[in-house]
Structure 1
């Protein structure tokens, strides 16, 4: 994988941004092998990546369940901030489903704008997740306007900037060029990677410093493993899977499965370290994890 270039990545797997990159031959960057399309009976409509479409529908359903449970933990620390991450992930899943499946067709003139919005949502998701890691340390009171709107507005700014980078790259304007998408690549892999590493490290420190139990580390580990598997499959062995399955599946399907599992472990980890005060909650369950009392005489319930 060459720094700043999508050529080898897009040759392995059909990422959403790939058809809009390249030297301007009109075809964009195409994968060597991709999953079969599905024709809707008697309509002539082609559905791309039907297996990936199915798993994204499952993801939307699961994301709705996780949002409901997070919203139901009325007194849990960081509830409003964490649910913002899941709403962003839900929006990204819905939009990427429409783009990957060709429900929003590539031939449509506004297609690249939706791809840019999707790219902005992806980057905003990682940024929001990192901020939730900081919320865990109670640098500011969670649930306040400063905390909640700080997360929301900063995620919006990051998302809009990322979408601008994407659309400027696709249109080859403002000094950007679709044949040399360096900043797009940096935002997609370097910036999001830094956000993810910061979140993981911060949560490991949180568990070791404030928790009696170490079981939440298992949730972090499984989440990292599934996410890493998704990246390896998507970038590294998608063509191998595609040829081996005779074009019925490719890395897009397994990558979407891995992302879903990784996000589910983000939820499971957050649920395991948050304690709800049942005296003030409605219909919630008390969490089994307890906060380790600091030796300096202060504490804040929840983490």
Structure 2
């Protein structure tokens, strides 16, 4: 629940950055993260029990939204390179269309794996699911990191605050994965089964998301400074009119 509150606060702050580069792309990413968080709550808290007939569908949705989060973050990272007109109708249509394609691909592979509907993808042949979940998503995150490092060291004047936020995001993400997949059993045993690595992994992932926002906030700091602290925007009119056009 804390992840939802923090994500909504971040979305509110992103919406205030009316002229920031990649604003709509980042909003799409954070809304995707909210959907992923909701799916995690449903699956991890037992709203859909693991033995129920609906469990496989909810887990497939969770896996699909995880893929969408990675894709939208990568897409937003590319937008920061000014390869296209960020926030335009064509750009957002491409983002929504490709995100839907990623969602369908992940969902279909996951549901086929869990339900044994084919001989190629089933519970005995889980390689396609693992390739999508770990390798494909990992490559997207790695390419996002490369894009941002290029921005920090080449495109923009060297900004150590931005680099620090980016490094902290990577640190918390790696820590979250280690807490979930490596140390979860040890944590569960040490805490007498009152908690496992999932809760600490969730918190660490939340910190990583916060650092992603902070990094974007730092590198786009000057983009909307004028519109936020003045009432008239040259060529447009009053601030309310500019906001209406940008929204």
Indicate whether the TM-score tops 0.5.
yes
In 2 relative to 1, CA 100–162 (structure 1 residues): closer, same or farther, beyond 3 Å?
Answer: same
Give the structure 2 partner of residue 37 of structure 1: none
- Paired with 2:73 and 2:47, the residues of 1 have a C-alpha distance of 29
- Paired with 1:239 and 1:278, the residues of 2 have a C-alpha distance of 48
> Could you tell me the TM-score, scaled by structure 1's length?
0.72
Give the structure 2 partner of residue 273 of structure 1: 219
Shift of 1:106: 2.4
Structure 1 gap segments, 5+ residues each = 1-56, 285-303
- Paired with 1:263 and 1:170, the residues of 2 have a C-alpha distance of 29
- 1:121-168: CA deviation from partner (whole Å, max 9, x where unpaired): 001110111111110111101110111121121111101110000000
Correspondence 1:205 to 2:150? yes
Shift of 1:111: 1.9
Q: What is the SS of the residue equivalent to 2:160?
A: coil
In 2 relative to 1, CA 117–135 (structure 1 residues): closer, same or farther, beyond 3 Å?
Answer: same
Report if the CA contact (8 A) 1:72-1:283 is conserved: no
Give the structure 1 partner of residue 130 of structure 2: 185
Give the structure 2 partner of residue 134 of structure 1: 78
Correspondence 1:89 to 2:33? yes
Report if the CA contact (8 A) 2:42-2:58 is conserved: no
Structural mapping, 1:1-303, within 5 Å: 57-174=1-118, 175-212=120-157, 213-274=159-220, 275-281=222-228
- Paired with 1:239 and 1:106, the residues of 2 have a C-alpha distance of 19
- 1:240-279: CA deviation from partner (whole Å, max 9, x where unpaired): 1111111111111111011101011000000110133344
Shift of 1:283: 8.8
Shift of 1:237: 1.1
Report if the CA contact (8 A) 1:216-1:272 is conserved: yes
Report if the CA contact (8 A) 2:39-2:62 is conserved: yes
Which sits farther off after the overlay, 247-256 or 107-116? 107-116
Report if the CA contact (8 A) 2:19-2:224 is conserved: yes
Shift of 1:171: 1.0
Kindly indicate whether structure 1 or structure 2 has the higher relative contact order, using CA contacts under 8 Å at least 6 residues apart.
1
- Paired with 1:108 and 1:282, the residues of 2 have a C-alpha distance of 54
CA RMSD after TM alignment: 1.6
Of Structure 1 and Structure 2, the greater helix share is in 2
